[in-house]
Amino acid sequence: MFKFLTYMGAGMCVLGFSASSNVRAAEPIVISDMGLCTPKSLLASEEAKGKWRLIPYEADGVTGKMICAASYITVPEINLPLKVAGWYSVYVGYWNPYYAYDGGVTVKARLSGDKAFFRFREDDVCRGFGAEYICEVFFKHADLTGEDLIIGKVNGPLAQKCYVAYVKLVPLTPAQVEEIKADRARKDTRSLVATIDGMSYFWSNEYRTREQLLELVERYRYSDVGKVLLAVNSGDIVWYPGSKLGRMFSGEDSRTRLVDAAQSMPSPYVRSEKVMRDSLRDLASRKVDVQNTIAEHTHSMGLKFDVMFRLGMSGHLPPCMSDKSFVVLHPEFRQVTKDGTAVEKASYAFPEVREFMLGLIREATERFDADGINLCFTRGPHFLLYEQPVVETFRAKYGEDARAVDPADPRLSAVKVGFMTDFVSQARRALDEVGKKKGRRLELSVWVWPSNKNVWLGKTPVEEGLDVKAWIQKGLLDSVICQEGIDQEYIRLGREKNCKFIYFSGYRGEQAMSPKNVRAGHEAGVDGFAYWDMDSVTDNPATWEWLSRIGHVDEMKQFKDKKPALIQLRTIGGYDCMQGLEAAVYSGG
């Protein structure tokens, strides 16, 4: 039943074995006939509705039948019997035919004993016009005794194709198994904060059931992720039903009704927004609690779970008007520019605005099984300008008009700091109150800029009212996540006040999160790392290879990018593809 082939290379492996344990017990087992999958009723030799298609192929060193489903074919998961015992490294070989004009590929794989799928995603990539390749990726190390491999695809409105050519099982020696177990038991390397920004994961993948929600964080098992940070709001908009304060994103408004009734959906943004709303509605109708489902699975893996609050509270400018937003209902609490122009954004200078957000914090921490919260100040500045409380406080303290002084005047900054520090202090007290009811202390973190960095609005944090150093010195914070920079003053103060410094190195260019910047962070003495929109990269094998090992200092020092194992296809479905298949597309016009 199994085909034993010449070893084709280990591919990408997330654990580098020591020299003493790196001895192969036996030759790999390659299962290349996907026709062994069950139930047989889901298999077909031609493309058919609800069926996985079998396509024969020949490649360098391997021959078999791959299992395929185009993006527009909705198919259930299917079972591949493994019939082996003991520990193996498991690899999956997939095909991503660029010429097919069917978008990227996503392979979903799990063992029959697993609670959730792993996903391997590759965009619509052209590897070259002269050849077709099977790409081999690492799945996991596991004891396969009594296990089968379950294969699935992404269906629904954001469906992707899935083509699996083979599964490779590399036997592990007892020494390697012990090394894997010891590594998984380590806690000191779990220094990565996996940030999931609200509901954006609905925009790129299928999350319409409780089981699919588990896939969002299952990838973090046995990785260097120590905490999942999930956003639950954007200002007064919340992403959970039943809030007594916030507006549920999937609630009824004119935009929602019109989008639902639209005959066409030309905008990718609006289309993804609709997918998100529909998914949230569907989950809520079936009583699936998104946040607590994710929290429960996160905790089951021994990881922490925090919720994030995006603090900017904007109104809705035309054409996206809403008569239910906080700013529309309370225009008296809007921010005001120096010349008196009202801005469609709530100001934290007003106690009513601070209390509204504190109410959301209390509601969410009471409702969700969170270990703490994050106040995200990098999403939504400014937080206050020249509103009446700011002007009156400045006049009472200094006898001058705040609107007549330089915006960088340290006295004006001090006044703004007073309001924002009061908010952070109240947030700390709110957490203590909720924590007392739950019988445990809840942690408080902030996401901010380095103290000397001009933010995108041209202000330093203190000019925005954010005196992070004072918050650390007052003992209000358990950790600081720093946006695109390492602030040694934050680190020094944190050492004195037991406040961790978490480094986020950004997205683009030289600041982008990379092994090089991770090494720089380790050398600078940071306590950990944060990755924004982690859900967007965990499916990428090349990125996840190093990101999942970010806390292993020695490995990161030696890390070098590796190319995925590519096996050239010779024939596919009986057709010769040694010269590629692109010409067949373009010859048709």
The CA-based dihedral angle spanning residues 59, 63, 69, 75, taken in that order and rounded to the nearest 10 degrees: -150
End-to-end distance of the chain based on CA atoms, in angstroms? Answer: 44
The listed CATH number (3.30.70.3270, 3.40.600.10, 3.20.20.80, 3.40.50.2000) that belongs to domain 192-551 = 3.20.20.80
Pairing relationship of beta strands 225-234 and 192-196 according to DSSP bridges: parallel
* Strand partners of residue 342: 336
Q: Could you list the beta-strand ranges (E) of 427-492.
A: 443-448, 479-483
CB proximity list for 403: less than 8 A, separation 6 or greater: 338, 386, 391
Structure token digits, residue 391:
């002007």
Query: What does the domain layout of the chain look like in residue ranges?
Result: 3-185+564-586, 192-551
DSSP state of 156: G
Computed from CA positions of residues 446, 451, 455, 461, in that sequence, does the dihedral angle turn out positive or negative?
positive
pLDDT under 70: residue ranges of the chain: 1-25, 250-254, 320-321, 508, 586-589
- Residue 214's Cβ-count burial label (10 Å; 0-12, 13-18, 19+) is buried
Count of residues in the chain? 589
Residue for token pair 């344990």? 21
* Residue 180 host element (H or E): helix 174-185
The C-alpha angle with vertex 157 and arms to 156 and 160, in degrees rounded to 5, equals 70
Of 10, 55, 44, nearest to 30 (Cα)? 10
Report the pLDDT value the prediction gives residue 18, as an integer from 0 to 100: 55
CA gap 407, 252 in Å, rounded: 41
CA gap 515, 519 in Å, rounded: 6
CA gap 569, 559 in Å, rounded: 30
Of 425, 297, 433, nearest to 369 (Cα)? 297
* Residue 403 host element (H or E): none
CA gap 13, 222 in Å, rounded: 13
The amino acid present at 318, given as its one-letter code, is P
CA gap 557, 18 in Å, rounded: 16
CA gap 463, 466 in Å, rounded: 7
Pairing relationship of beta strands 334-336 and 342-346 according to DSSP bridges: antiparallel
Per-residue pLDDT reduced to its tens digit, 333-347: 999 999 999 999 999
Burial track 267-297 (b if 16+ CB lie within 10 A, e otherwise) = eeeebbbbbbbbbbeebbeeebbbbebbbeb
CA gap 145, 148 in Å, rounded: 9
CA gap 389, 350 in Å, rounded: 7
CATH class for the region spanning 3-185+564-586: mainly beta
Structure token digits, residue 562:
């590796």
Of 120, 128, 129, 200, nearest to 161 (Cα)? 120
